[in-house]
Amino acid sequence: MGPRQPELHVITSGRQSLNEVLRVAEAAFLVGMDYLHIREKQRTARECMEWVEALAQVMPRERILVNDRVDVAAAAGCRGAHLAYHSLTPAEARRVLKPGQQIGRSVHSLAEAKQAAAEGADYLLYGHIFPSASKPGLEPRGTDELRKIAAQVKIPVIGIGGITPENASHVLAAGSAGIAVLSGITAASDPQAAARAYREALDRWKESQR
């Protein structure tokens, strides 16, 4: 058996209306987006719940993750919750979520990755790997530490930050199980074409590993 199908995660920007996000999500899902993360820090629990319910009309509920709001993820019965540094720990979130729901955790170092894995995270998001418009002035972390994390933790690691269809193969070659994209898809003039370009880059890399 070859490597697993690389995952394509899309993360909302916090700057778009629900209608805009619905349009992006539907278009991206049709061409191979695996998971959508609702990352809307400024919205209330009630609003986040409304987003999940609306998005569940255009893509499967089990492909939707809610950032930080473990209560919403549990109530909505979606794929699970993605935890930031300021969120509950994976162990605490596990008490709230339903059996079978997933917990992701954003990490920025090997030490954080090992800790999150030990606390029961199901997957990790590591970055930012390349220079990123959403992290101006912050030095990108590159793929060296990603390679160490992927080799030393047993759960999937998803790379994030400045990833394009052209450089995605470097992230996968470092051991990443997939990539997460924000503005590369959400801010694209044609989100479907953008998502397709990412999906094709991931599939091309997998083919090259046979």
pLDDT per position as a tens digit, 8-30: 999 999 999 999 999 999 999 99
Residue 3, pLDDT above cutoff 60: no
Q: Is the pTM of this model over 0.85?
A: yes
The Cα 123–Cα 197 span in angstroms is: 24
Residues annotated as catalytic are 128
Backbone CA torsion sign across 75, 80, 84, 88: positive
Asked if residue 142 lies in contact with residue 150, where contact means CB atoms within 8 angstroms, the answer is no
Neighbours of 92 (CB within 10 A): 14
Average pLDDT value over all residues in the chain: 95
Backbone CA torsion sign across 39, 41, 47, 48: positive
Asked if residue 99 lies in contact with residue 115, where contact means CB atoms within 8 angstroms, the answer is no
What is the mean predicted confidence (pLDDT) over 50-75?
Answer: 98
The single-letter DSSP state of residue 57 is T
What is the mean predicted confidence (pLDDT) over 35-60?
Answer: 98
Residue type, 151: A
Residue 156, pLDDT above cutoff 90: yes
What is the mean predicted confidence (pLDDT) over 42-49?
Answer: 97
Peptide bond into 86 cis (omega under 30): no
DSSP bridge partners of 123: 104
Residue 155, pLDDT above cutoff 80: yes
Give the total residue count for the chain.
210
pLDDT at residue 1, as a whole number: 38
Token pair for residue 21? Answer: 């996000």
What is the mean predicted confidence (pLDDT) over 156-181?
Answer: 98
With residue 45 as reference, give the H or E element that holds it.
Answer: helix 45-55
Residue 133, pLDDT above cutoff 80: no
Q: Which of 130, 102, 113, 138 is nearest to 7 (CA)?
A: 102
With residue 184 as reference, give the H or E element that holds it.
Answer: helix 183-186
Asked if residue 109 lies in contact with residue 157, where contact means CB atoms within 8 angstroms, the answer is no
CB neighbour list of residue 65: distance below 8 Å, 6 or more residues apart = 35, 36, 37, 38, 73, 78, 79, 80, 81, 82, 102, 104
Residue 134, pLDDT above cutoff 80: no
Residue 136, pLDDT above cutoff 80: no
- The predicted-structure confidence for 173-208, as pLDDT tens digits, reads as follows 999 999 999 999 999 999 999 999 999 999 999 999
What is the mean predicted confidence (pLDDT) over 127-131?
Answer: 93
